[in-house]
Structure 1
Amino acid sequence: MTEMRRRSARSGGRAARVALRNAPLAENLRPVRAGLEGGQYKPLTDVQVQRLHGAALDALEQIGLSQAPASGIEIMTQAGAVLGDDGRIRFPRALVEDMLAKAARDITLCGRDPKHDLHLSGNKVHFGTAGAAVHVVDLETNTYRDSTTQDLHNAAKLTQALDNVHFFQRAMVCRDIADNLEMDLNTIYAACAGTTKHIGTSFSEPAHVAPGIALLHKIAGGEDAWRARPFVSNSNCFVVPPMKFAEESCQAMEACIHAGMPVLLLSAGQAGATAPAPIALAIVQAVAECLAGVVYVNALASGHPAVFGTWPFVSDLRTGAMSGGSAEQALLTSGCAQMHKFYGLPGGAAAGISDSKLPDMQAGWEQGITNVLAGLSGLNMVYEAAGMHASLLGFCLESLVLGDDILGQVLRCVRGIDVTEDNTSIEAMKAVCLGGPGHYLGSEQTLQLMQTEYIYPALGNRMSPKEWNEADRPMLIDQAIKRKNEILAKAQIQISPELDAAIRKDYNIYFH
């Protein structure tokens, strides 16, 4: 196949080169893909990592966490945690080390289609959505409106079509649904009907887990099929920083674990507000809280799949407002990724958030700098990587589409430079410089590598000013709107018609 492409390119000129560029590649030949190995960037030295680890263990032993539910107190104290007279649970170092030894490593988060499985080991990097925004950015009017179930479903359909967005965690709240149970069920179904990639969701109340799991059994084809390949994970804010358990979330987490659902142990303190202002100490608190989660989960079900979700955010200390697109956020996230590697645990954190209200130049630099540091640090799960605006308050479907381009460039940085015998040989230079054409355009090596070594933006404009004028000066946002509409027009529901009809008969589904 490769030799046929080479002959076609030599004989067909520009048309052949265009065809070559547009021809689909096998997954292993693509220049970027899910699960590329990062880890090149390490903001912390080994000594600093040990210092943060020691401080986190000190915090667990000396401060502990308060407000655990009665069930959690029983689970953790039976494992060796200590309940103090002040109601706080403290964690001896030996207990933490024992539970770290039992914790699941090298886990797989399943897609409903196995080709979308996420293998969380080492420094493998995956980008996806998250955020639970309460507004949608409407680019037709440049205003914010309440997000709906249809918006969530559309975001899932877009994610299905975007190669560089590898998973879909609930990106918006379905504000068109007043009943919380109906909202939770519609969130699950809108996501599953839109994409076969791995999905993350939350539950408003512990009692909603059972009906949510029952719906997932229907989608999976039965409980056994669900337990064999759970394709939805529970994003669980099991702590309320600083150093407090969230009682109802913990109860929901326990129910999810019993039901075989992977969990994201999510600690989302805000530096300078609910987490300490120093970047290092904000990481310490997040690590301590998530280590408490590791004890909790493994005392309940040893080796249950859990993502170490240190998500400390940044405050603009002048106002106290969140600043998700800042350089400090990029450092926080990459520092957390380094701690995940220290423990050898699958980890996730946030990047790609923009404080800008619209997909403009500010959004581009904020999404670019935070995502590239997250990817280079080898973060397994990069949440909120595309589409998020206004410091998580707004989600933009067009920005999700644009984010696919950004993430493609980020992944190319993660992949790095291939240094092999073939691509460092000077034979290609000899052929060009010694009696050759004096350039590499159209050379065999160039044609061979143009698809596998280079990535091309779907929307990013690389025209010359002359070409741009002749094309009637296309604007990036207009192109994003067009691509969004084209994807949604072609998108198919990812549930069989028979099952969809049965679910709509039994449940009040709010999207079409």
Structure 2
Amino acid sequence: MEGGQYKPLTQSDMVAIHNAALEALETIGLADAPPSGVAHLTGSGAIEGADGRIRFPRALVEDMLAQANRSITLSARDPAHDLELSGNRVHYGTAGAAVHLVDVASNSYRECGVQDLHDAARITDVLDNIHFLQRPMVCRDITDNLEMDLNTIYGCCSGTMKHVGTSFTDPAFVAPALEMLHMIAGGEDKWRERPFVSNSNCFVVPPMKFATESCQVMEACIDGGMPVLLLSAGMAGATAPSTVAGAITQAVAECLAGLVYVNAVKPGHPAIFGTWPFGLDLRSGAMTGGSGEQALLTAGCAQMHGYYGLPGGAAAGIADAKMPDMQAGWEQMCSNVMAGLSGCNMIYEAAGMHASLLGFCHESLILGDDIIGQALRCVRGIEVNEETLALDQMREVCLGGPGHYLGTDQTLSRMETDHVYPTLGNRASPKEWDELGKPALVPNATLRKEAILAAPSRARFDPVLDRAIRERFTIHLPE
């Protein structure tokens, strides 16, 4: 789908944000780059000040923008699910690294584990409107960080054939993870040809500081041929300016610094411009992922991605609501529609996220597929041509015809192209609904979840490969 219809920023607004971001990079700079990063950046023309901050001359940023990769394809294990990120192409997926699972049956939260993550991957694999799986939960049942990172990859990749995004807690963990990915791919050469996992990298700690270990992870991932998401996640009013324009400006500045970093390490390496500023409720200090401000932040960021012509990603679809209820529905729909209409390439956290990213819900993931289906219909827009203007139909129906369009050839032939039909959303009359036993949305989502998880995963590994992985690594997911 091609977005880009919604433009909350004018051209002069975008120029102003761009110039402010360049001034911030040139005069404020970023602190705490690792020694390797200092070497890469200063070797490319950045300046290390006496205060230890790295500053970026305007010409350097413009040069790096010129050599950045502008057309990225994120591969999937199944090529049918490859994601082309050029232009205003829109893709929705998960993310969030929640620490709790939402249990709708008991109306409560519990710590999530590797089985929950694997189940989310399996559900994602069969949902038409969820295009990729970035780790939506943390494996809280695995205390060793290396084993957690490796089991995250195993749990995701054995659950879905779609593109996977993940993080690493230590630079030293990238090498064994790549070893596992080489095994899954069938060799390092095949992995490098089609890397089906990307690194979600929080390379900055806003405001305007590099995250030292994450930068080292990023360098290791670049060396290993893994695409990276340059993720800047400031909180407006706390770690970013409280204004929408200011939060976007800081996120743009930080991601431009990351873009310079990536291209200093390896020119043209696939990198997603991940401006993820979040809203904040200044009355309580709580994150407001489901707010109108969040929708504007994401849409404005998407416009800036387009301004630079860079593949970009931002966050939408987050619910502050604790359960999949009416509040969750309006929160998820608002930002998902605006993000899609703005032409954001990668819309993260678009389904399943509750409690401002603290909780993930399998049922909400399934219901989110319906929400995103409607959002994508909005993105697709209105098709205007001789056929859709329907003058011939009007003549046929009104001049001696039945006086209605029910059952006409055109109505029947375009049912599936002009309209989107929800999988679980109920459009029955009250009488029909009563006769059907008054089906409810969340219980029906639970039934669908159970049906999906009862079937074998198409992404499961060949038994010989699975045995080899389990012999090489400590895998916590039961066979």
Asked if Structure 1 and Structure 2 have the same fold, meaning a TM-score greater than 0.5 normalized by the shorter chain, the answer is yes
Q: Report the secondary structure of 1:418's partner residue.
A: coil
Q: Report the secondary structure of 1:124's partner residue.
A: coil
Which residue number in structure 1 is paired with residue 101 of structure 2? 136
Among 205, 211, 236, the alignment partner of 1:246 is: 211
Which residue number in structure 2 is paired with residue 280 of structure 1? 245
**Within the alignment, does 1:271 sit opposite 2:236 as a pair?**
yes
Among 385, 388, 399, the alignment partner of 1:423 is: 388
Distance apart, 1:280 and its partner CA: 0.2
**1:480-495 residue pairs with structure 2 within 5 A?**
480-494=445-459, 495=461
| Deviations 1:201-247 (CA, angstroms, capped at 9, x unpaired) | 00010000000000000000000000000000000000000000000
Q: How far apart are the structure 1 equivalents of 2:463 and 2:78?
A: 17
Which residue number in structure 2 is paired with residue 501 of structure 1? 467
Residue type at the aligned position of 1:500: D
- With the length of structure 2 as denominator, give the TM-score of the two structures: 0.99
Which residue number in structure 1 is paired with residue 398 of structure 2? 433
Q: Report the secondary structure of 1:302's partner residue.
A: coil
**Within the alignment, does 1:511 sit opposite 2:477 as a pair?**
yes
Q: How far apart are the structure 1 equivalents of 2:409 and 2:347?
A: 37
**Within the alignment, does 1:190 sit opposite 2:155 as a pair?**
yes
**1:69-468 residue pairs with structure 2 within 5 A?**
69-468=34-433
Q: How far apart are the structure 2 equivalents of 1:455 and 1:501?
A: 43
Residue type at the aligned position of 1:496: D
Q: How far apart are the structure 2 equivalents of 1:416 and 1:465?
A: 31
| Deviations 1:124-156 (CA, angstroms, capped at 9, x unpaired) | 000000000000001111110001000000000
Residue type at the aligned position of 1:159: T
- With the length of structure 1 as denominator, give the TM-score of the two structures: 0.93
Q: Report the secondary structure of 2:422's partner residue.
A: coil
Among 469, 480, 504, the alignment partner of 2:434 is: 469
Distance apart, 1:508 and its partner CA: 1.8
Q: Report the secondary structure of 1:239's partner residue.
A: coil
Distance apart, 1:493 and its partner CA: 4.8
List structure 1 segments (4+ residues) > 2 angstroms apart after TM superposition: none
Q: Which moved more, 1:196-205 or 1:482-491?
A: 482-491
| Deviations 1:103-129 (CA, angstroms, capped at 9, x unpaired) | 001110001110000000100000000
Q: How far apart are the structure 2 equivalents of 1:335 and 1:319?
A: 25
Distance apart, 1:485 and its partner CA: 0.7
Q: Report the secondary structure of 1:234's partner residue.
A: strand
Contact 1:157 1:491 in 2 (8 A): no
Q: How far apart are the structure 1 equivalents of 2:256 and 2:163?
A: 25
Distance apart, 1:497 and its partner CA: 2.1
| Deviations 1:35-79 (CA, angstroms, capped at 9, x unpaired) | x00000000000000000000000000100000000000000000
Q: How far apart are the structure 2 equivalents of 1:374 and 1:124?
A: 11
Q: How far apart are the structure 2 equivalents of 1:419 and 1:484?
A: 38
Q: Report the secondary structure of 1:451's partner residue.
A: helix
Residue type at the aligned position of 2:50: D
Residue type at the aligned position of 2:433: W
Q: Report the secondary structure of 2:418's partner residue.
A: coil
Distance apart, 1:507 and its partner CA: 1.9
Residue type at the aligned position of 1:487: I
| Deviations 1:91-112 (CA, angstroms, capped at 9, x unpaired) | 0000000000010011100011
Q: Report the secondary structure of 2:179's partner residue.
A: helix
Q: How far apart are the structure 2 equivalents of 1:497 and 1:358?
A: 38
Q: Report the secondary structure of 1:80's partner residue.
A: coil
Taking only aligned residues, the RMSD between alpha carbons, in angstroms, comes to: 0.6
Q: How far apart are the structure 2 equivalents of 1:278 and 1:345?
A: 24
Among 30, 48, 53, the alignment partner of 2:18 is: 53
Q: How far apart are the structure 1 equivalents of 2:123 and 2:239?
A: 34
Segments of 5+ residues of structure 2 without an aligned counterpart are: none
**Aligned residue pair count:** 477
Identity of aligned residues (%): 69
Which residue number in structure 2 is paired with residue 66 of structure 1? 31
